[in-house]
Amino acid sequence: MTDFLTPPRAVRVPLQPALVLTLASLLGLAMFCWPLLAHPAPSGAGHTADAPFVFMATLPVLILVVLAELSRGGIDAKALALLGVLSAVNAGLRPLGAGTGGIELVFFLLVLAGRVFGAGFGFVLGSTSLFTSALLTAGVGPWLPFQMLASSLIGLGAGLLPKRPRGKAEIAMLVAYGVFAAYFFGLLMSLWSWPFLAGTGDGLGFVPGAPLLENLHRFAVFTVLTSTLGWDTGRAITNAVAIVLLGPAVLAILRRAARRAAFGAGDQTSAS
């Protein structure tokens, strides 16, 4: 019997879509981390420059495969309508901060929606929110698939948080996750941009074939100076403040909407 406080999941994730989602998440993380994992021989070093462009082409396909598998798992008309509304709201929130000082209003709603509607819905909402906001803000570029995947992983993680905490304990947990998500997103996007913006050779640049610890040190200094201390910290503060101030009310609204929508009720009725 479903707990009254725990609404049914908007996107059901049976075994096969769950396996595809897990595999795609691991492959996506590998695409972010390729500079740290690449150890080409000197004779093949020239092909290292091809890797990010190959990933730019394959990552959208990977995301589409996951979305297709999740839709097979079960996304009814009510879930699609809710997904469209929340994606539009997130797309409208993102330009308000315009990234100024790391102010990002798109992630706190993603965390709350993933918490209420589940991991599958959170993953899909992460992709659709960033895609819609990119169209709205003319932010379409080679970075967009990576932003979509990073945001999807944040929504996925929100849906996997422990279900038991409620009240102040739940808000504290979501604040901690919102802070983590801010730095996690910044870290992944720094990994994506590092080989392009930092260049190669001495300093903070990516050096193909260099030892892992050497490149890891270069990247750590690069991301702390260019992202962590500024943009990511601003994003973390924004998430924390928004969840503390708006979280209880938004959670109540989303849970009320989920109970009224009764996701999957039609399937259960037809099955009986």
Structure confidence by residue, pLDDT tens digits, 186-238: 999 988 888 776 555 557 777 777 788 888 888 888 889 888 888 899 899 99
In a domain, residue 6? The reply is no
pLDDT at 82: 84
3-class secondary structure, 244: helix
Closest CA to 247 of 111, 129, 77, 131: 111
Mean of pLDDT values over 126-149 = 82
Whether residue 171 lies inside any domain: the answer is: yes
Which CATH number is 88's domain given?
Answer: 1.10.1760.20
| Residue 1: inside a domain | no
Residue 118: left if φ>0, alpha if ψ -120 to 50, beta else—which one?
Answer: left
Evaluate if residue 138 carries a pLDDT over 90.
Answer: no
- Is 271 inside any structural domain? no
pLDDT at res. 4: 42
| Calpha distance 194→223 (Å, rounded) | 8
- Tell whether the model's pLDDT for residue 269 goes beyond 50: no
Identify whether 9 is part of a domain.
no
Cα–Cα dist 219/210, whole Å: 12
- pLDDT tops 70 at residue 244: yes
pLDDT value at residue 67: 64
Mean pLDDT of 241-266: 84
* Domain housing 57: 15-28+53-264
- In this predicted structure, the answer to whether residue 146 has a pLDDT above a threshold of 70 is yes
Residue 272 covered by a domain: no
Report angle CA 157, 163, 165 to the nearest 5 degrees.
Answer: 110
Q: State residue 8 phi and psi, 5-degree precision.
A: -65, 150
The number of folded domains in the chain is 1
- Which ranges of the chain does DSSP label H, i.e. alpha helix? 15-32, 34-37, 51-74, 77-97, 106-117, 119-137, 144-159, 168-197, 212-223, 233-261, 265-271
